[in-house]
Structure formats: structure tokens, C-alpha cells
């Protein structure tokens, strides 16, 4: 796991420097591809507008796989926790939804198992 991208975040949810660069958009990725274009745009937007409660970044070696960290909501049993997870973007993103899974035990979701969200590609009832 490449959790070094996000780090432990104990002191806050800060972006670790300039993550997106020439190495992330090199010849491995066709910048004219709608998915690649959208992903690179979203990384820039997240870096320009950081949140105190969450962050997400693509892996340097695969921009279709992201790691995220989210701070447990205040006044809930999750307050004080920082939860890490993985987002897998399909090759036809944003036209198809991503899949999400948590990597940190929370007591609510199984780790390393896709999560059913209204915006995800995993819905066991279908």
C-alpha cells in the first residue's frame, strides 16, 4: 500500500507538497483521454481547495487508483479518528462511477471490501 502519499495525518490533513507533476502526466497517460483529463483537473482542484476533514490523491504510479483519508465527524463515535481508504476509478471515468473501500477498521464497514454508496459502482442489491 502506498499510504505514504497521505501519511499519518496526525497533525492535520495537509497535502504533502506538490503531488501532481510531470511524472504523473508523462507519456504513460494520454492527456487527451477524457478520464485522464478529468483526473488531472480534479487533483489540481483538490490541491487549490484543501479541506480540513478529508484529502485524496492518486498514486504516482497509477492515477486511476487513489488513496484517501477522512477525519471522523464531530459529535459521533468516529470523532478523533482518521480513516484511510482506496478509490478505484474506471478507465471510462467520469462516465462510470468509482469503487470505494476502507483500509482502516471503523466498526461500520469491512476493510478491503467495496462500499455501497450512491456514487459508487458497487450495489449488492443489483
- Residue 116 and residue 123 in contact, taking contact as beta carbons nearer than 8 Å: yes
C-alpha cell at 48: 487549490
Residue 27 vs residues 31, 32, 36, 59, 60: alpha-carbon distances, Å: 9, 12, 12, 16, 13
Beta bridge partners of 85: 68, 102
Identify the three-state secondary structure at position 56.
strand
Q: Which residues are catalytic?
A: 116
- Residue 106 and residue 78 in contact, taking contact as beta carbons nearer than 8 Å: yes
Amino acid at each position: 500500500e502506498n499510504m505514504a502519499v497521505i501519511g499519518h495525518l496526525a497533525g492535520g490533513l495537509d497535502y504533502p507538497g506538490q503531488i501532481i507533476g510531470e511524472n504523473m502526466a508523462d507519456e504513460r497517460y494520454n492527456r487527451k483521454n477524457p478520464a485522464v483529463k478529468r483526473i488531472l483537473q480534479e487533483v489540481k482542484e483538490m490541491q487549490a481547495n484543501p479541506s480540513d476533514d478529508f484529502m485524496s490523491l492518486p498514486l504516482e504510479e497509477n492515477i486511476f487508483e487513489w488513496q484517501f483519508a477522512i477525519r471522523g465527524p464531530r459529535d459521533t463515535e468516529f470523532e478523533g479518528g482518521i480513516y484511510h481508504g482506496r478509490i478505484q476509478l474506471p478507465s471510462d471515468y467520469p462516465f462510470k462511477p468509482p469503487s470505494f473501500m476502507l483500509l482502516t477498521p471503523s466498526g461500520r464497514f469491512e476493510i478491503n471490501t467495496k462500499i455501497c454508496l450512491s456514487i459508487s459502482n458497487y450495489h449488492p442489491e443489483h
